[in-house]
Amino acid sequence: MTEVPPGFRAGFVAVIGKPNVGKSTLINHFVGRKVSIVSPRPQTTRRRILGILNLPNAQVVFVDTPGIHKPKYKLGERMVEEAMGALPDADLILFVVDASKMPSAEDKQIAQLLQKEARAPIVLVLNKMDKLPPEKVKPHTEAYWQLVPNHADWMMTNAVKGHNCDKLLEIILKHLPESPPFFPQEQITDQPERLFAADIIREKVLLNTYQEVPHGVGVVIDQWEERPNGVLYIAATIFVERETHKGIVIGEGGKMLKKIGQRAREELEFWLGRKIYLELWVKVREDWRNDPRFFTRVQS
């Protein structure tokens, strides 16, 4: 491993919060490229994903986690377990909240869990500051401060535009221990290409279909083949829970599925830097989110 300068810092930063507060967007901003998919739909992230920021004097390993929520399905229970599983090894915890709204019951539940389970310092990240009217800054911030009275620091951010993220990074680095890096300097995520591809496909479903479809969508990569002509052939199945959802994902005359496939292929070609042939199918698997034997096979 490359020799590191004296005083080099490295550590794991668990990013915790309820669904749809901007955790993945924040991590993607710091890393400088997409390592976690994002959408306006809650519960987009379903497993822990590492986003690695390499600096001359530090390596910050962000741990993106599923949003903590009251689960209705066994898959949701697994997602909450994944999120809580990031706490024991964390050197620092970012508790990310939507500052444009007053704390919800989920925020309060997460704060209680952190008070009970967290061993590392907690930094309160008041995200979506751009949506917070000036007259509500004081009541909203004070309400969140009261949830985590022993937080180490706090910062208002707009993860989409990167506002105050440089200041937040200064706070993060201050709390990391002196340590050699955990990963090679060129590595930015622990996510295998197959899982990334499945995530990108699901992201395009989330962004292009109706509100009732996304939670019941899962993606399985069926085939991943290097063709002699240099093209990467990817075959994937999109699973939904109802026949009506299948019709929505396919669309009239297959138009929606074609659109999803085209957008996924274009983004995968951009990130993987190669020509891709992507083939998609849609199948119904009723209540798959309550079947651990099945959803453990689902890549995204």
**Residue 285 main-chain phi, psi, to 5 deg:** -135, 100
What pLDDT score was predicted for residue 47? 84
Q: Say if residue 20 is in the same domain as residue 107.
A: yes
Q: Which residue matches tokens 């997460």?
A: 110
Can you tell me the mean pLDDT for 188-204? Answer: 94
Q: Tell me what pLDDT residue 296 has.
A: 86
Residues paired with 147 in a beta bridge? none
Range of 207's domain? 193-295
Number of domains in the chain: 2
pLDDT at 212: 65
- Cα angle 295, 192, 277; round to 5: 90
Average pLDDT over residues 154-176: 97
Q: ∠ CA(113), CA(179), CA(49), 5° rounding?
A: 45
Indicate the pLDDT class of residue 56, thresholds 50, 70 and 90: very high
CATH code at position 25: 3.40.50.300
**Would you tell me how many other CB atoms lie within 10 Å of the CB of residue 161?**
12
Q: Is the pTM of this model over 0.85?
A: yes
pLDDT at 214 over 70: no
Please tell me the distance from the alpha carbon of residue 214 to that of residue 241, in angstroms, as a whole number.
Answer: 10
Is the domain of 74 the same as that of 214? no
pLDDT of 1 > 80? The answer is no
* Residues 121 and 165 reside in one and the same domain: yes
Q: Is residue 2 in a domain?
A: no
pLDDT confidence tier of residue 46, bands split at 50, 70 and 90: confident
pLDDT band at 274 (very low <50, low <70, confident <90, very high): very high
Pair 29, 119 in one domain: yes
**Which range is least confidently modeled, 6-10, 96-100, 211-215, 292-296?**
211-215
Output the average pLDDT for the chain. 92
Q: Report yes or no on 186 lying in a domain.
A: no
